[in-house]
Amino acid sequence: MEVTNVTEYQAIAKEKLPKMVYDYYASGAEDQWTLAENRNAFSRILFRPRILIDVSKIDLSTTVLGFKISMPIMIAPTAMQKMAHPEGEYATARAASAAGTIMTLSSWATSSVEEVASTGPGIRFFQLYVYKDRNVVAQLVRRAERAGFKAIALTVDTPRLGRREADIKNRFVLPPFLTLKNFEGLDLGKMDQANDSGLASYVAGQIDRTLSWKDVKWLQSITSMPILVKGVITAEDTRLAVQNGAAGIIVSNHGARQLDYVPSTIMALEEVVKAAQGRVPVFLDGGVRRGTDVFKALALGASGIFIGRPVVFSLAAEGEAGVRKVLQMLREEFELTMALSGCRSLKEITRDHIMTEWDAPRTLPTARL
């Protein structure tokens, strides 16, 4: 059966992967209300397409932090990709590079920054978790910079790991033949079996709960790479991020894996965009499965989007070819959405191309008697 959309890869991945691995990738926190809402919220935003516009030539290209990419669709950091496929992050890096877009490598990757850099050219960002031992952090940031990574995506929504009940039931642990490659030499690469989730125990032991805005300043003092703050969903934190020198904001609820009952990212997006006032670019992470979703995010002011689960599910199904296909399908759907909405470039996508539940009703001119 030919795969014709991104969502179809999830069922294939479920068949192929061990239950513990599939559940780790697929599940959200607690009741998983936000997990469903990340998807459902997109369906409540409708289009206002403009017609009779020459759409024979469409340009999807854009720049992110000064780097030119082929489309505003990028790869979010997802941990432990070798659980999905033996080539793991190598395959994802090659697929992103072939598509002319950015890959974000997770701190908890099963391939190191150096290994991913060795796959060839490409624009890559590094997602950072801040460990209690700051020497570990400083060393990791330096390694990423040396390996040619272009930015840090600092995850700020994880002082503690969210309660993911599937991982507790499955006693989730990184399979013994794999390691968190970036930490291998630091004796932090292995995850012990725990009486709940092995990852939750690892986070409790290693990740710094004292992390605050002063640490964003500290990070700037040890690297010249721009810092994207990943996990902002309010206007208040957007203003603080800008004040503290963030180069950009990723609106994210961690794939609905941290605090349940936060809004979907597409619902939080406009609040963040308005608070940023154009001072820094704002990106959206979470729930994107269609080209129409990409368009909606851009219409609400995002400069681009990141996909996470579609990458690991397609990787599990078809390896590098699967990730390439996901990026290609999203690209083609997005281009079609632009054409059918009457937009020839990203700058032509406006707020007027969509309508949302919270828009003021568009009043019709009163009919003359």
Sequence ranges of the binding site for FMN: 77-79, 106, 127, 155, 230, 252, 285-289, 308-309
Residue 302 to residue 72: CA distance in whole angstroms: 9
**Tokens describing residue 30:** 């607690």
Residue among 56, 47, 94 nearest 75 (CA): 94
List binding-site positions: 24, 77-79, 106, 127, 129, 155, 164, 230, 252, 254, 257, 285-289, 308-309
8 A C-beta contact, residue 317 and residue 11 = no
8 A C-beta contact, residue 215 and residue 249 = no
Q: Which helix (H) or strand (E) holds 75?
A: strand 73-75
* Residues 6+ away with beta carbon under 8 Å from 2: none
**Phi, psi dihedrals of residue 176, rounded to the nearest 5°:** -60, -25
Name the residue with tokens 């759409």.
55
Which residues are part of the catalytic machinery?
Answer: 254
8 A C-beta contact, residue 287 and residue 66 = no
